[in-house]
Chain A
Amino acid sequence: MAYKRQFYPGESIPAKNRKRYMDPKVKLKKLRDVSQDDVVRIMGHRNPGEDYKSIHPPIEEGKEPDCPIRKLVTPIEGAKHGDRVRYIQFTDSVYFAPISPYQRAWMYLSRYRGIDTGTLSGRQIIEVRERDLERMAKEMIDNETFDPALTGIRGATVHGHACRLDENGLMFDGWQRYVWDAQKKEVVYVKDQVAIPLDRRISVGKPASMSDLKKRTTIFRADGVDMRDDKEVTEYGLRIHKLRTLGGYQPWKVKGE
């Protein structure tokens, strides 16, 4: 029987969005087109056009250690070339950002291979071989999981995800990596992800409206969709807690629970 993933319980809007973002069969909407070179500039690991640096010689078939798993698992492009492992880190505002850090982890591991990701307070880092990272980063900035005002590209000092927004509706950033262009009504990056000034202004487009974001978000909030109002999600959480506890006690007695 071919099994199809079900991803996540629940019928509420955030629950459905979680499923959508995780499902690799769903092609995420592309909302903007930030050029690949500009994505490279914002990340700040290399200059556009510059060669990729490597940390080990290229992987050649037949020259790897004798391991059946290496024969089964195809390395990603960057790994084949021995690229360095670099990162991009997103900060997601609690004010109905399209996605929150933890769901990014679910999404990344459902959609991409060869990655290392970790959730921290208010932010999600993803570390990948450089050339693969650049491709993934562009997708993540261009697609619907990114909002110019409520998603920040921040490598260090990410403080702001739980702060009040500023008067223009932008998530707080003490390092002001991006500014509000009042004329174009767009968000513009003026510094890279670690706040080193960029030599050009990079627009990431117009922020979405709050009503739109509330339809797109994965975030449960008391002033949005309360998690307790999604019975399936609540029931799921209680069930896992219970089964972990019973499993930790006398697993052989757990039958049909």
Chain B
Amino acid sequence: MSAPAKPTADYAGKPLPEVQIITNRLLSAETTEKLLNALDVIPDIRQINMTGESLPKMINSGPGKGHENNHTERRVIHVGGQEVELRYLVGGFYIELDVEDEEILEARLDQIKAACNEHIEHGYSLQVGRYSKYRPTLHDYRSA
């Protein structure tokens, strides 16, 4: 038996604070791009995960099966000079902050809120907590 592969996820190993942002409307690719770029310049952000509604590449069932979907919001966006392939209509962000100090946390939250207020037209709700795991578990070692 070969040794277990290292988990692909990069965990901090400790429960850093996570900012959950749920938008009142699903965001277009353009808005998502603008918001990510506004967040990208904020210091101490360790990673950003996004969720939303899946946009398939192809029509995957029914009589139209096999056609290209050509959804206008399923495209490559540019964040911090990097290309990101967007496959969702995004409606949620999880921002992990590498901070251990309440004051710095508050300061970063203010910056995040400012970015959101500027780019999310229809409002959002924001909470701080821990919403995803921060260390590897058995699940990370399962075979494909």
Contact = CB atoms under 8 A, between A and B. Distances in A.
Direct contact of A and B (CB under 8 A): yes
A156 B59 CA distance: 10
Interface stretch (A57-65, A106-114, A167-175, A237-245): A167-175
A44 B64 CA distance: 11
B61 interface: yes
B37 interface: no
Interface stretch (B67-75, B77-85, B106-114, B126-134): B67-75
Contact of B71 (A159, A164, A176, A194): A176
A100 to B, nearest CB: 20
**Interface size range on A against B:** 20 to 34
B62 A155 contact: yes
B89 A172 contact: yes
B63 A163 contact: no
11 contacts: A157-B61, A163-B26, A164-B23, A166-B27, A167-B26, A169-B25, A172-B53, A176-B70, A192-B64, A196-B63, A196-B67
A39 B72 CA distance: 24
Interface in B9-60: 23-28, 31, 53-56, 59-60
A1 B61 CA distance: 54
Contacts of B62: 155-157, 194-195
A178 B134 CA distance: 40
B122 A167 contact: yes
Interface string B125-144: 00000000000000000000
A180 to B, nearest CB: 10
Nearest to A155: B62
A197 interface: yes
A179 interface: yes
Nearest to A197: B67
A196 B70 CA distance: 11
A155 B60 CA distance: 13
Nearest to B28: A167
Interface in A4-48: 44
Given A155-B62, A157-B62, A172-B53, A164 B67 contact: no
A131 to B, nearest CB: 21
A157 B79 CA distance: 31
Interface in A179-214: 179, 191-192, 194-197
Contacts of B72: 176, 179
Interface in A127-161: 155-157, 159-160
A125 to B, nearest CB: 13
Contacts, number: 72
A194 B64 contact: yes
A49 to B, nearest CB: 21
Interface range, B side: 20 to 34
A105 interface: no
Contacts of B89: 166, 172
A155 B62 CA distance: 8
B54 A174 contact: yes
A165 interface: yes
A166 B69 contact: no
A167 B31 contact: yes
B17 to A, nearest CB: 25
B24 A164 contact: yes
Nearest to B60: A157
Among B25, B61, B73, B91, chain A packs the most CB atoms within 10 A around the CB of B25
Interface string A56-90: 00000000000000000000000000000000000
Contacts of B118: none
Given A165-B26, A172-B53, A196-B67, 14 more contacts: A156-B64, A159-B53, A165-B25, A167-B121, A174-B69, A174-B71, A175-B64, A176-B55, A176-B72, A191-B64, A195-B59, A195-B69, A196-B59, A197-B70
